[in-house]
Chain A
Amino acid sequence: MLNRRALLKLSSVAASSLLLPAGLRPAFAASGDITIGAPLPMSGPFAANGKFGSMGTAMIVEEIGKVLDRKLSYLEIDTEGKPATAVRKVQEAMERGVTLFSGGILSSEALAMGKEVAKGKGVFITTAGADEITGSECNKSTFRWSVPTFGAIEQTVRPLIEQLPNAKRWYTITPQYVFGDGLLNAAKAIFKEKGIEHVGNSYHSLTEKEFSGYLTNAMAAKPDALLILNFGSQSSDTLRQAVSFGMKNRMTILLAWASGLEQFEALGPELMEGVYFGAQYWHGIDSPFNRELVAKVQAKHKMNPNYAFASAYLTTKILIDAAAKAGSTEGPAVIQAMEGMKYAGLTGDEEIRAADHQVIKNYYLLKGKAKSAMKDKDDYADIISFGKSFQSPEQAQCKMA
């Protein structure tokens, strides 16, 4: 049996073991600063994207420095790639007065964070892929820079069909969840319209790593083109295995939702040569804002900006510009300033559609280059075409509350 003294000692040790971090945690910003929250997956499987996103946010905050006569700072929030952690940390940031957020690379965490920020009447701009963000789950506080699945397919499959009139038989490989189905349905609509024969589709799970079975099915169907509709490491794995099966020489391959430079660095020119890719951003885009950004990033970080970096830079800038325009960091005022905002963006002239908070911007069709044709180490691809394709807010099923 413990005596009273021992109990008191034990209690104090137990309590202090839990409570120590609260005292150790550094204050994230001096009072009076305008703090931009950057909820990004800094650890876990998507940590590389988070790192570049954080660099992009840091760069624009440092560059602008001050807005509304108040110093700008940013709060890096590690979502760990988990929606629950993301929401909890965003709640905490809002309790500490942060109202403006730019981040959320993964769809699941972005959707959840968007809801949370809306509850607190803040503003959240994201580059996540799920159509629901500006579709069926749209809300007053959430904005999305990236093009939804409809536009990604319209700006890759349609121009490629026009370029390759003899490619009449297409096979698709699709991750079986909402995002994959969004891409697949958009592709099927174009196939139907253009009289293309959809010779088969292989669904796979979100955790799949081995695609040889699906590729064998694809080869058996003898398609003229293979449309890969997964993303990230899954799309890289699918492409690697397809190339090792010799499919690149037998058919045209299109990877409709590529991550851009960070993915191309992992793939390398040998795999990429002759393969088509869809991309939200490419550092070779010929727009004044992008040229300026590329020069700045090269000077500061000795690298070219990738998608995570560039998009975080721009989305954070949009928030800061909107706060300046609104003369306030209060959520409703910033939202009003953002709705309908037109600006010179990374992909040329961009506009935030007021009805569903979707940024209207270009999507790109790229083609992988041979190693011998590369002008520098990052010159993996040429831009073949680009354009803006978006469903109406009604088609996207956005009912803004």
Chain B
Amino acid sequence: MNRASLHFLLAALIAIALPLFMRSGTLASEVLIFAMAAAACNLLLGYTGLLSFGQGIFFGLGSYAAGLTLLHTSLPLALALVLSAITGAVVATGVGWLSIRRQGVYFVMLTLAFSQFFYFLAYTFKDITGGDNGLLNIPRPAIGPFSLGDSWTYYGFVAVLFLLLFAALQRVASSTFGRTLLAVRDNEERARAIGFPVRDFKITAFAISGAVTGLAGALHALLIGVAPLSNIEYHMSESILIMTIIGGTGNLFASVLGAGFYVIVSDLLSSIWPRWLLLLGGLLIVVALFMQKGLWGLLERLVEALPMGRKSSTKSSIEAPIQPESQGRGI
């Protein structure tokens, strides 16, 4: 079994296992929605070395695009989702095109600035977005003969899309394009010297990431029936980045782990202790200091530590984690 198949199998296993062990279809759907967003973020952070604070923009705009389409037109759900992905891709192309002109901390600052810019746009144009109150009454129409009203039915719909997108992202990551992104991440100057159109590659990575994140935002709006202003706040970008980092930037499945861990642990901790954000902050410090390979790295170590895993681990080809902060030049 090759690496991509293994990761897809694990993702499918998660999608199948969530309904068996979780009580809430809503929470399970949220896990997969954020898994999509984190995997899209990983394409930028882990594969291209771009630490983008713009993911919230694409997520929020995806929510608004789906909400506005379903509220004001009679277009079917599938088309609303496609429009959300296109919105995410188009805006990400613009944000990427402008942001990648600078590197390192200035790139990060630019994505942060765009994040604030789009937040204030959404806040200001309250007649369109609902402003602080959010865009309310977003319907969740049926898809063909299937009603998505029930939370577990909707989960099934989200799970199918999640697996399709996960497979597509894997395809992108393992393609020549994806391998070139890794080369850009590891040494941008060398990649440029070889003759790769580095800027175009980065912009394309942004567009793909924006499309998937926009679609995730749309699914989130359909899940809760609202496109809240908080979906486009920089906190959303922050959360998606944290999920990606906690999971590990080594591969796309790590993002699924990161999103699942973040969403479920947040839900659990918030029901135990009101100051749970402190624990989450502590956890992030621990990950940054001692677990730079994230949860995926921890799992690898666990497997290697187990007696029957040692033998196989010597031959294991699970890839090394990617640490853009230390290796990449183009954060």
Chain A residues near B (Cβ < 8 Å): 1-3, 5-7, 9-11, 13-15, 17-25, 42-44, 47, 50-51, 76, 78, 80, 82-84, 87-89, 91-92, 95-96, 107-108, 111-112, 115-116, 119, 130, 132, 137, 176-179, 205-206
Contact = CB atoms under 8 A, between A and B. Distances in A.
Contact of A11 (B13, B260, B308): B13
Contact of B151 (A50, A83, A95): A95
B26 A43 contact: no
Given A14-B13, A19-B18, A112 B226 contact: yes
B128 interface: no
3 A-B pairs with least C-beta separation = A19-B21, A83-B228, A87-B224
A82 B274 CA distance: 14
Interface string B11-40: 001100110011111110011000000000
B79 interface: no
Contact of A9 (B228, B264, B274, B306): B306
Given A10-B10, A47-B274, A177 B1 contact: no
Contacts of B124: 176
A390 to B, nearest CB: 21
A299 B319 CA distance: 63
Interface stretch (B46-54, B107-115, B132-140, B206-214): B132-140
Interface residues of B, number: 65
Contact of B226 (A84, A96, A178): A84
B175 interface: no
B132 A107 contact: yes
7 contacts: A5-B309, A18-B18, A18-B260, A21-B265, A95-B151, A112-B136, A132-B133
Contacts of A91: 24, 26, 151, 224
Nearest to B235: A82
Contacts of A80: 270
A80 B274 CA distance: 9
A197 to B, nearest CB: 29
Which of A6, A50, A96, A178 has most B Cβ within 10 Å?
Answer: A6
B196 interface: no
Nearest to B137: A115
A323 to B, nearest CB: 25
A84 B313 contact: no
Interface of B: 1-3, 6, 9-10, 13-14, 17-18, 21-27, 30-31, 120, 123-124, 126, 131-134, 136-137, 151, 220, 223-226, 228-231, 257, 260-261, 264-265, 267-268, 270-271, 274-277, 295, 299, 302-303, 306, 308-309, 312-313, 315-318
A130 B220 CA distance: 24
Nearest to A5: B308
A25 B268 contact: yes
B308 A6 contact: yes
Contact of B224 (A21, A78, A88, A178): A88
A6 B309 contact: yes
B22 A14 contact: no
B318 A115 contact: no
B134 A18 contact: no
